[in-house]
Amino acid sequence: MRRVNKDEKSRISLTLNGRKMAAEAEPRMLLSDFLRHSLGATGTHVGCEHGVCGCCTVQIDGTAVRSCLTLAMQAEGRDVKTVESLAGPNGRLNTLQQAFQKHHALQCGFCTPGILMSFTDFLSRNPKPTEEELREVLSGHICRCTGYAGIMAALKEAVGIS
Partner 1 sequence: MSKRLGTRVVRKEDPALLSGRGRYADDLPVPAGTLHAHVIRSPHPHADIVSIDATAALAMEGVWAVITGVDIKKISDPFLVALKSPIHQWSLAVDRVRFAGEPVALVVAENRYLAEDAAEAVAIEYTPREAAIDPVEACKKSSPLLHAEAKTNEISVRTFRYGDTKCAFETADKVIKLTVDFHRLSFTPMECFVAVASHNPADDSYDCMANFQGPFSTHPVMARALRVPGPKMRLRIPPDSGGSFGIKLSVFPYVVLTALAAKITGRTVKWVEDRAEHLLAASTGPNRVTEIEAAVTKDGKILGLRMDQLEDYGAFLRAPMPGPLYRMHGAITGGYDIANIDVTNRVVLTNKMPASLIRGFGGPQLYLALERMVQRIAIELGLEHLDVIRRNLVQPEKFPYRAAAGGLYDSGDYPRAVETAVGDGRLDYLKKRRDEAREAGRKYGIGFAVVVEPAMSNMGYLSTLLTPETREKAGPKNGATSMVTVNVDPLGAVSVTADVTVQGQGHETVLSQIVADRLGLQPGDIDVTLEMDTAKDQWSIAAGTYSCRFTPGTAVAAHMAAGQLADKLKRIAAKQLNVMAADVELADGKIRSISNPDNALPFGRVAGTSHWSPVMLPDGMVPALSETGVWNPPELEPPSSDDRINTSLTYGFVFDMCGIEIDPVTYQVKVDRYTSMHDAGKILNPLIADGQMRGAFAQGIACALYEEFVTNEEGAFLTGTFADYLVPTVSEVPPVEMLHIESPSPFTPLGAKGLAEGNCMSVPACIANAIADALGVKDVRLPATPRRIHALMASNGGVR
Partner 2 sequence: MKPRPFDYARPDTIDEAVALLAERGDEARILAGGQSLMAMMNLRLADPSMLIDIARIAELGHIRDLGDTIEVGAAVTQNRLLAWPDLTAKLPLLAAALPFVGHFQTRNKGTVCGSIAHADPSSEIPLSLATLEGSVVLRSTGGERVVAAKDFQIDMMTTARRGDEMITAVRFPVHTGRGVAFREVARRHGDFAIIAIAAVIEGKDFAQIGIGGMAGKPLVQRIVMKELKSEIEALATGFEDYEDLHASAALRRDILRNLAPLVLAEAQACAA
> Interface residues with partner 2 (CB under 8 A)?
1-7, 26-28, 30, 33, 49-51, 54, 57, 63-66, 68-71, 73-74, 118, 121-122, 136-137, 139-141
Q: Which does 146 bind (CB under 5 to 8 A by kind): partner 2, partner 1, none?
A: partner 1
In degrees, rounded to 5, the angle at the alpha carbon of residue 29 between the alpha carbons of residues 110 and 142 is 25
The answer to the question of residue 146 lying near partner 1 (CB under 8 A) is yes
Q: Please, which residues have CB within 8 angstroms of residue 51's CB and are 6 or more apart in sequence?
A: 66, 68, 69
What stretches of 89-148 show up as alpha helix (H) in DSSP? 95-102, 112-125, 131-138
Q: Which does 106 bind (CB under 5 to 8 A by kind): partner 1, partner 2, none?
A: partner 1
Q: Distance between CA atoms of 23 and 65, rounded to whole angstroms?
A: 21
Q: 3 vs 92, which CB is nearer to partner 2?
A: 3
- The answer to whether 36 and 56 are in contact (CB under 8 A) is no
Q: Distance between CA atoms of 97 and 9, rounded to whole angstroms?
A: 37
Q: Using CB under 8 A, which of 8, 13, 24, 87 touches partner 1?
A: 87
**Residues in contact with partner 1 by the rule CB under 8 A:** 26, 28-29, 36, 41-50, 52-53, 55, 82-84, 86-87, 91, 93, 97, 100-102, 104, 106-113, 116, 135-136, 138-152
